[in-house]
């Protein structure tokens, strides 16, 4: 899979990370974090980890901010 295709999958996953159980959303965010790390985007992977931590502690506003930040930054990777 090309990097562009992987980025499209990441964006689709982030867009879907507001529907479902907390466990399902956390799994999606964890996958985004792992994929960003494998793409060599350590800073963005760290931001995904921070958003995941916010979700786990119940800070929905911070999670949403983190997800929006990732959507913006990942969109620029194309």
More confident site: 49 or 77: 49
CA distance 59 to 46: 17
Mean predicted confidence (pLDDT) in 6-35: 94
Entry pTM: 0.91
Residue 78 is classified by DSSP as -
């Amino acid at each position: 899979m090309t990097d562009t295709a992987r980025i499209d999958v990441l964006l689709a996953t982030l867009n879907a990370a507001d529907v479902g159980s907390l466990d399902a959303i956390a799994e999606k965010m964890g996958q985004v974090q792992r994929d960003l790390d494998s793409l060599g985007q350590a800073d963005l992977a760290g931001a995904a980890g921070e958003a995941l931590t916010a979700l786990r502690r119940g800070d929905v506003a911070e999670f949403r901010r983190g997800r929006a930040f990732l959507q913006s930054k990942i969109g620029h990777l194309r």
